[in-house]
A = this chain, B = another copy of it.
Amino acid sequence: MTALEFARRLRGRQRTIGYWVVLDDPVATERLARLGYDYVAIDAQHGLLGYEGVRNGIIAIDAGNQAAAVVRVEQNDPFAIGRVLDAGATGVIVPLVDDVEGAERAVAATRYPPRGRRSYGPMRAQLRVGPAPAEADEAVVCLAMIETTEGLRNVERICAVDGLDGVYVGPSDLRLAVGGSTSTDPAVDGVFEDAVRHIAEVARASGVAAGIHTPDGATAARRLAQGYTFATVASDLVHLQQAALSHLETARRNA
């Protein structure tokens, strides 16, 4: 899937499923990118890697030759966004977008003038997209995370921002935002699920993609069934830990 194809599928609100990477190992990332996921997202905000890790991870995803490379950037900052696009990311997930100004700032960082304020220097990206900024803009997606009280309150206005390709729910932060005492606190299930549903509906009504972070394939399926157009299964570190712990328990139990 080329960057452009991915961007079009996302914008067309066709379903895609992704995987979430927080580890700093290109070999693992390449493997994950070869499994059939539509995209692999590298987490530069809470993940455990710096710039070299993100750059090598994007190359590794491209070596898999199947999945689109997406990066959740460190913060809503023009350089943080520009540098991963230069390195070849197909899209960015921008954390903690609270309002229209935040969404506009994010969008501007992903498009060249006159549409935005991205600075020209697609050192690695130009391998895949033509030299015309307008073409490059077309092949890049900008997704805003809805995960704060303010973001939730402003979700309609955020979805209406010109050039924003979709929203992305961060369930841990959102659950805390709606009053959870932990990131998985079931006590706020009602209000949390309402919020999750509301965001999907607003996105649908606005014609933008609606994505969400999920801990496993079953939850991903449920969210897609619920109206989300893309869902990411997270994360390599957690799944590895779960698998290794499960093997240990089996070994101990049966030995």
Contacts and interface: CB of A to CB of B under 8 A. Distances in A.
Contact of A121 (B34, B172, B222, B245): B172
Interface string A111-127: 01100010111111001
B75 A95 contact: no
Interface stretch (A155-163, A204-212, A231-239): A231-239
Nearest to A78: B75
A240 B31 contact: yes
B254 A28 contact: no
Contacts of A244: 19, 32, 35, 37, 233, 236, 239
Interface in A198-255: 216-218, 220-222, 224-225, 231, 233, 236-237, 239-255
Tell which of A45, A49, A241 has the most Cβ of chain B within 10 Å. A241
A191 to B, nearest CB: 14
B233 A247 contact: yes
A221 B251 contact: yes
Q: Nearest 5 A-B pairs (CB), nearest first?
A: A46-B121, A217-B250, A221-B254, A50-B51, A217-B247
21 contacts: A17-B252, A23-B23, A24-B52, A27-B237, A34-B127, A35-B248, A45-B79, A48-B86, A52-B53, A56-B56, A74-B79, A74-B83, A96-B119, A132-B181, A216-B250, A217-B254, A220-B251, A225-B254, A239-B247, A240-B240, A243-B243
Interface of A: 15, 17, 19, 22-28, 30-32, 34-37, 43, 45-53, 55-56, 59-60, 62-63, 65, 74-75, 77-79, 82-83, 86-87, 95-96, 112-113, 117, 119-124, 127, 131-134, 147-149, 170, 172-173, 176-177, 181-184, 216-218, 220-222, 224-225, 231, 233, 236-237, 239-255
